[in-house]
A and B are shown apart, each in its own frame.
Chain A
Amino acid sequence: MTKIFGEGPNQVKALDDVSFSVEKGEFVIVVGSSGSGKSTLLNMIGLLDRPTKGKVFIDGIDTTKLNDGKISAFRNKKLGFIFQFSNLLNDLTVLENVLLPRQIGGTNGSAKKDALELLQAVGLEDQINKRTNKISGGQAQRAAIARGLVNRPSIVLADEPTGNLDSVTSMKIVQLMKTMAKKLNQTFIVVTHDRKDFSDVDRIITIIDGRAFEGEQPTELEMVA
C-alpha cells in the first residue's frame, strides 16, 4: 500500500508501496528512523486511517471495503492498541479502562473476570480502582496492555510502547508483551525506536523513507545509534 499526505507540491509520501504479511502468533517489531513512516504504517494496519492506494487484509477480509461502523466493530473485536503515551482515559479507573473495549463491543458477559485476570497478569491487581492519572507511567503502560488484550484481539498493535519509559521499566514492559503474546498466541506488531529493548523477536521490519525491508538494515542501525 501507499499513503500520501497533502496535495501538490506539499505532498508527502509517507508509505511507498509497502507490502508484507504477518502470520498469526508472530511477534514483529518495526524499526526505522524518525519520520520514516512507522506510525503511518501502524495506523493503516490498525484501520485508524485509510491508505491512498492498496489494501489491508485482516483474517482474509479486505478492510478497505468496510464502512465506518464495520471498521469500528472490527477495531474493537480484532485489534488491540497500545500507544506511546498509555492513552488511558483519566476520567475512568484502571479497571474501568480495561473494561471499556468490552463495553464498547457490548460483550459484557465475563468482562470483569477477564479484566481482573489480565490486570493480575500485568501485576496491577492492587491498583484497579485508582484513577489512571494517579499511577506511574510504567503502571499505566501495563494497564494499557491489559486494555489492548481484553477483547482477545487477533492482532495487537503497539506504537513505541516503551518510548516514554526509563530503561528498566521498558525491559519489564517488553517482557510482559512477549509473555502475553506467547500465553495467548497473539500477533504483535510493535513499532520501536530502540531495537535493543527487544532482543530476540520472530521478525523485524525496517522502514526507510516509507519503504519496508525485511530484517535489520545496518545503515538504519547506524543512524539510530
Chain B
Amino acid sequence: MEYRLRLAKRMLFNKKGSLIGAVLAVTIGILVIHVNFVIFQGLFDAIVRDISNYRNGDILITDEADYIDKSDLALANWFERIPYVQGATPRLSSTAEINMTKNGKLIEETRIPVVGVDPDRDVRTSTVHETVAEGTYVINRNSVVLGSNVARDLGDAQVGDNLKLLITDRWGEDQVRNFRVAGIVQSPGGQGLDYSVVMHIDSLRDMMSREGESSSFMVKLNDPTKAYEVKEFFLRAFPNDDFLAETIEESAEEQLAGFRSGIAMINMIGYFGMMSSAFAIVTIQMMLVNGKTREIGVMRSIGAKRKDILIIFLFQGMIIGAIGAGVGTAAGLGYTFYAKETKMSFNNSLPLEVSYDWAKITQTALTSFTLAIIASLYPSYRATKLLPVEAMRTV
C-alpha cells in the first residue's frame, strides 16, 4: 500500500475516539438529510399523490369558461382510446346546505362542498371509492356518500339516514331534494373527500340545471410519466374548445409552491448540519495533527516533503469522508427502508410517500465526502507548517 495512505490509515485507526467522532459527524450530517427527505419530501409527495388520486388525476381538464359542455361519452372515449390512459371521468362541483333530523333535532350545515361523480368511471380513475369507511360508494341517483367530517358535523350521521340537500341552480333558484346516506368516506390524512358530499353527477346536474355539463375531467394514466405528452396531444386534438389542461406536476407546482420552498429551506438546514460536521472534522483533525507533531517532525527529518505531509492528512480526510459517507448513506437508507416498510405516516394520519431518490442519495454522499476532504485541508496545511526542529522538540 502507498506508504502515505498506510500512515494516514494507521494514525486514524490508532485513534479510535477521533475516528469514530469524525465519522459520526459525517454520518449524522448525512442521516439528517435523509430523514428530512423521507419526512418532508415524503409529505410533499404524499399530498401530491392524494391530490392526484382523489381530485386531479394525472391530468386535469377544465374549461376556460367555467363548465365543460362536451359530452362525457365523447371525452371519456377519446381519452380511453389512448393506451396510456387508465380512466377518464367527469366531475361537477357545487356547494350545498344540508338539513338533517337526528333524534328529533334538526341539524343544519351550510356551504358544504358537493362533488358529482360518474360512479362507473370514477372507480377506474380515482381511489375515492377505496376510502369508504362505512356503507358503499355511490350510488344511485337518490343516495349520497358523506365525507367523514361532514357526517360528524351532522351529529354523527349514519349509513341509512335521510337528509335534505339544498342547492342553488344556475338561475338562482333553490332546489331541494331528499337523499339517503349510502356510505361514509374517510381517507388517511383527510386529503380525500372527507369534507365533501359525494353524489351522482346526473343528480347534481339536475339540481344545478346543467344538463350534460362538468366542472372538470379527471384523467388517470397507467404511466404517469406520459402526462405531459397526453396533455399536449389532447390540447392539439381540441384546438377550438377552450379547454385548459394541467398535469399533476403543474398543479402541484402552483398549489404547493410554498411547501416546496419550505422543503428547500429544510434542505438548506440539512446542508448547514453538514457544514457543522465539517467543522467537527476540522477540530478533530487539528487534534490529530497536534498529537502527531513528533511524528510529523520525524518524517520531515527523514526527508518527507511538505507535500507528503499534506497528502497524509488529506488521505485521512478522504478516509473519514469515505467511511462517513458509507455509514451515513447506509443509515439513511436503513431509515428510508424502515419508513417504507412500516408505512410511516405524518402526524399519525397521512401515509408518507417514501421513495429512494438515487440521484439525491448519491449527491448527498458525494457532497459530504467532498466536504470532509475540504475540512481536512486546513489541518493538513497546518501540519505542513510544522518545522522539523520544532516538531522534534516535543519529546
Contact = CB atoms under 8 A, between A and B. Distances in A.
Interface of A: 43, 46, 48-49, 68-69, 72-77, 81, 83-85, 87-92, 96, 99-101, 103-105, 147, 151
Contacts of A90: 14, 295
B302 A147 contact: yes
Contact of B299 (A74, A85, A100, A105): A100
A73 B306 CA distance: 11
Interface string B53-73: 000000000000000000000
B3 interface: yes
Interface of B: 3, 6-7, 10-11, 14, 294-295, 298-308, 387-389, 392, 395
A88 B6 CA distance: 15
Contacts of B6: 92, 96
A205 to B, nearest CB: 20
B302 A104 contact: yes
Given A73-B303, A75-B301, A76-B303, 12 more contacts: A48-B301, A69-B305, A72-B305, A75-B303, A85-B395, A90-B14, A91-B10, A96-B3, A100-B3, A101-B303, A104-B302, A147-B302
Given A69-B305, A89-B7, A92-B7, A104 B388 contact: no
B301 to A, nearest CB: 5
A91 B295 contact: yes
A72 B389 CA distance: 13
Given A48-B392, A75-B301, A104 B10 contact: no
A91 B302 contact: no
A157 to B, nearest CB: 9
B11 A75 contact: no
A189 B338 CA distance: 68
B305 A105 contact: no
28 contacts: A48-B300, A48-B301, A48-B389, A49-B388, A68-B305, A72-B305, A72-B306, A73-B303, A75-B300, A75-B301, A76-B303, A76-B304, A77-B303, A89-B7, A89-B295, A90-B14, A90-B295, A91-B10, A91-B11, A91-B14, A92-B7, A96-B6, A100-B299, A101-B303, A104-B299, A104-B302, A104-B304, A105-B303
